[in-house]
Each structure stands twice: as structure tokens, then as C-alpha cells.
Amino acid sequence: MRALPSLIHVSFKNIIRQSFFYLAIVGAYLFIISTPAFVMFTFFEGDKLLLDMSMAVILLVGLLVSVLAISSIVGGEIEEKTATLLLSKPLSRFTFIISKFCAVALALLLVIIPLTCALIMTLRVGVPEAVWSDMKYSTLWFEFLPLILAVLVAAAANYYADKNFASSFIILFSVFVVISLSVLWFMSKGSLQINLFYPASLLWLASILICPIASLFALKGNVFFTLIFSFLTFTLGLISNWFFGDLLHNPAIRLAYSIIPNFQMFWIEEFWTKQEVVPIAYFYNVLKYVFLYCMGTLFLTWGILENREVSGRR
């Protein structure tokens, strides 16, 4: 376990260097910024639709990045026989699995934080629903400057210091977006909806929850296989309350309900539409559920990996 921090660091760097990682973040960031143009014809429900659409984008991008990341650093390393070389060292397979999980959880922060900052600043801009709408177009500078600065500085670091452009861009972009939001919050005297970070933290936990499930599928199939079955599991987890709600008196149904991850608990619209703060007790219960479910799934993944040869073939 002493090698765990080093393994997490290496896996984290491998994740943020992947092209899908920065493409997903930049694409979602630009989509959230442009959302007011899509919701301006909603009969004065633009802010609500903007919030719902942006939160859905944050959740889906977090899930997508989580599945692709764990597939690339677990299934990809098995396919390329990197795992064979690594596990030939005095390193337990549980340490191997837990390091990948922790690396993905850390990388997901670089997804959730910038996209939440983009949502908060976009709400500050407003939705042009009528000619008298109070629009603050100057906020667009705070949204686009971090993106431009991150590209320029990362390109300079790549040219002069031979730093990886993708990883440098992701880290710089996250830092610049947080700085930009902080400056805007200071200039606007605290009128921004900073409390959106509370429901966004639940979306981060939802993205973490899918990670060990995807690692199970990554041991048995390629990226396409992992994506399909991970999102089928996510869909089933969203409707599990509705599907099994009236049948929980049956022990077999109750067992199936407990095995399927419940993603409905992460999607509570009142936390952002009514600007309610997530109660500490609720957040603690969700965190406990995610921890126990992830540990159980990771132990199952470890058990499967422990009893198989890592030879580059699934």
C-alpha cells in the first residue's frame, strides 16, 4: 500500500492526458455557456430550464468521463499488457484496483468544478427572454478568458518546457475558471449562486459510483462494451424506485433492488431550482451509501482479477 500514492499520481496523469477528457470538458463548458440561446423561448422559465439542462450535462459528462477513464486505465492496461508488467512487481492486485478508482475520483473533480463554475457564471449572464431582460454580457469575459489563457499558457509550456499540452491545459483551465469565478463573486458582492456547488457535489458522487461498476465490465470487454452496460446500469438505477417500489415486499425483488445502484438519490431538483442547501444528514447518508457500494464492488472486481491471468486478453 506504500506504492498507492505513486500509482494514483501516475494513473491521474494518464487520465487527464487522454483526448476524450479535455474534449468532453471543453465541449460541455461551451454548451453550458451557450445554453441561454437555447432556452430563451420558454415563456419566462429560462433560468429553470438552464439549470436543469446544465445539471443534466454535468451529470452525463461526469458519468461518461468516469466510464471512459476507468476503461482506459484498467481494460486498456490489460489489453496493452501494461498491467502484466506492473503486477509482476511486489504489488497486490487490490492496490492496483483501488489506485485506479482513486485516480478517477480525483480526475472527476476537474470535470465537476469547472462546469459548475460555468453554470454559475452563465446564470449571472441571464437569459434574453424579452427586450427588458437584465442581461450582464460583461460576464462573458469571465467565461471565455480562462479558456483562452489556458490554451495559450499550455501551448507555451508545451513549446518551451516540453510539457504535455492536454494535462497542462486541464489543470490550468480548472485553476483559471475558479479564479475567474472568485473575481466575479468579489466584484458582484456575493450575488452569485455559489450554493450550486452543493448539488454538484452529489453529481460528483454519482460519477464516482459508476466507476467500480465500469471496472467490472472493463475486465470482460472493450470500451464499447463497458459504455453500453455501464449506461444500462445507470438507466436501471434511475428507474429502480419506480420499477421496484411496490414490489419490495418480495425478498427476491428486495435483493435485486439492493444490488442495483440507486442513482435517483443524486438527482434532487429542489436543491438547485429552489436554491435549497443539501442537508448535512442527507449528504452523509449519500456519502455512506457511495462508500459502501463502491467498496463492495471494488472487492468483487479484486476477486475476479485475483483469480485470472492478466495476459492481455479478456
Answer for the pair 140, 81: CB distance below 8 angstroms, yes or no.
no
pLDDT of residue 223: 84
Provide the number of structural domains found in the chain.
Answer: 1
Rounded to whole angstroms, the Cα distance separating 156 from 170 reads 14
pLDDT of residue 191: 78
Q: Where are the extended beta strands (E) located within the chain? A: none
Q: Is residue 311 part of a domain?
A: no
> Torsions phi, psi of 222, nearest 5?
-85, -170
Residue appearing with cell numbers 454559475: 120
pLDDT of residue 4: 82
What is the DSSP-derived secondary structure letter of residue 197?
A: H
Q: Is residue 135 part of a domain?
A: yes
CA separation, residue 136 to residues 20, 178, 273 (Å): 32, 19, 21
| 4-16 helix and 19-38 helix, angle to the nearest 10 degrees | 50
pLDDT of residue 83: 63
Residues 6+ apart with CB under 8 A from 120: 181, 192, 193, 194, 196
CA nearest to 235, candidates 262, 270, 257, 271: 262
Q: Is residue 260 part of a domain?
A: yes
Residues 6+ apart with CB under 8 A from 69: 15, 18, 21, 103, 104, 107, 211
Provide the domain limits for residue 73. Answer: 4-306
- pLDDT tens sequence for the chain (314 residues): 567 888 888 889 989 998 889 899 999 999 999 888 776 666 666 678 888 889 999 999 999 999 999 988 887 777 666 666 666 666 777 888 898 999 999 999 999 999 999 999 998 887 766 545 666 878 889 999 999 999 999 999 999 999 989 999 999 999 999 999 999 998 887 678 888 999 999 999 999 999 999 988 888 778 888 899 999 999 888 887 777 767 777 777 778 778 888 898 898 887 777 777 788 999 999 999 999 999 999 998 888 877 666 554 44
Q: Is residue 216 part of a domain?
A: yes
Neighbours of 155 (CB within 10 A): 14
Q: Is residue 271 part of a domain?
A: yes
Residues 6+ apart with CB under 8 A from 19: 166
pTM of the prediction?
0.89
Rounded to whole angstroms, the Cα distance separating 66 from 68 reads 6
Q: Is residue 312 part of a domain?
A: no
Q: Is residue 277 part of a domain?
A: yes
Neighbours of 242 (CB within 10 A): 9
Q: Is residue 250 part of a domain?
A: yes
Residue appearing with cell numbers 452523509: 284
